[in-house]
């Protein structure tokens, strides 16, 4: 019995089409996209090596033993695993939208037909608010912690604690941005003031108060790192742009 045969058997037993399984894997964990054609190639044997991460996702989604799916050994659905709760037999994957920074301004009113979605694990899904969403990092202001291309998950329902990363907006400017949050206390008018601090020292700090009003959109609850998304030359260009931006601000 080949691995492709076992995947097909598990898929049909779970009443999944190839497209449904591809979508479920795409929306699980790191959110890497997988096509229906990829599943067909797994089952036909055209793909000789299937990534361990995708096999584990498929096993969890189809509620089978990962060892059986990959090697054909062990029970298909070990009773001990099912009873332990470590291996759910009825797995529901929660998805959330990946919004642009512009769409994040109105995160409750975005066009659902024009966005991509990604999945979150069960632990985060259990505590995340109803309006949680994801963003792709666009600039170098939070480097080296957050790099362009990384995905961050933002929860508007969670109030930030000092030192946490937030998505914020100044009332008099359109862009939203990611910064570290630092509470400063009350200003002369009795309003809360806070500082928004970049990790990249070449980007300016921002103080939000009654003279420079702004607000927190949400708090970062998950960060997915994408290694070397840009070439070294592109990363160098990003750093140069940051330096030039600071020089212009001065």
- Residue 246: the pLDDT is 40
Q: With beta carbons less than 8 A apart as the criterion, state whether 11 and 62 touch.
A: yes
Give the pLDDT band of residue 196 (cuts 50, 70, 90): very high
The per-residue pLDDT for 112 is 67
DSSP string over 99-145: E-TTGGGGTTS--GGG-EEEEE-HHHHHH--TT-EEEE--SSTTTTT
Residue 66 sits at φ, ψ, to 5 deg, of -55, -35
Strand partners for 192: 186
| Domains contained in the chain, CATH given | 3-84 (1.10.260.40), 94-249 (2.10.109.10)
- Whether residue 133 is predicted with pLDDT greater than 70 in this model: the reply is yes
Is residue 239's pLDDT more than 70? no
Q: Give 93's pLDDT tier (boundaries 50, 70, 90).
A: low
Task: Return the higher-pLDDT residue of 123 and 69.
Answer: 69
Which residues are within 8 A (CB) of 167 and not within 5 positions of it... i.e. 6 or more apart? 104, 135, 154, 176, 177, 178, 216, 217, 218, 219, 220
Confidence of residue 208 (pLDDT cuts 50, 70, 90): very high
CB atoms within 10 A of CB 151: 18
Q: What is the pLDDT of residue 183?
A: 94
pLDDT at 147 over 70: yes
pLDDT band at 42 (very low <50, low <70, confident <90, very high): very high
Q: Where are the beta strands (DSSP E) in the chain?
A: 94-99, 116-120, 133-136, 151-155, 165-170, 176-186, 192-197, 206-208, 214-224
Beta-bridged to residue 218, according to DSSP, are 167
Q: What is the pLDDT of residues 57-75, one digit of tens each?
A: 898 888 888 888 888 887 8
> Within a 10 A sphere around the Cβ of 130, how many other Cβ atoms?
8
Residue 198: pLDDT band with limits 50, 70, 90: very high
């Amino acid at each position: 019995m080949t691995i492709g045969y076992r995947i097909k058997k598990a898929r049909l037993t779970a009443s999944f089409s190839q497209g449904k399984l591809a979508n479920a894997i795409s929306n699980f964990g790191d959110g890497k996209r997988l096509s229906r054609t990829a599943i067909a190639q797994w089952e036909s044997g055209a793909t000789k090596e299937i990534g361990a991460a995708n096999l584990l996702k498929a096993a969890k989604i189809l509620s089978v033993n990962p060892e059986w799916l990959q090697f054909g050994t062990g029970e298909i659905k070990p009773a001990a695993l099912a009873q332990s709760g470590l291996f759910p037999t009825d797995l529901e994957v929660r998805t959330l939208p990946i919004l642009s920074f512009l769409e994040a301004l109105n995160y409750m009113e975005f066009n659902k037909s024009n966005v991509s979605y990604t999945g979150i694990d069960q632990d985060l899904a259990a505590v995340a608010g109803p309006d949680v969403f994801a963003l792709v990092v666009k600039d170098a202001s939070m480097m080296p912690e957050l790099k362009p291309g990384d995905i961050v998950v933002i929860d508007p329902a969670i109030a930030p604690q000092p030192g946490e990363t937030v998505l914020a907006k100044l009332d008099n400017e359109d862009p939203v941005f990611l910064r570290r949050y630092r509470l400063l206390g009350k200003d002369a008018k009795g309003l809360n003031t806070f500082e928004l601090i970049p990790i990249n020292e070449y980007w300016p700090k921002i103080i939000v108060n009654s003279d420079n009003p702004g607000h927190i959109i949400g708090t970062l609850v998950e960060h997915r790192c994408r290694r070397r998304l840009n070439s070294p030359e592109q990363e160098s260009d990003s750093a140069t742009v940051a330096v030039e931006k600071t020089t212009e601000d001065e």
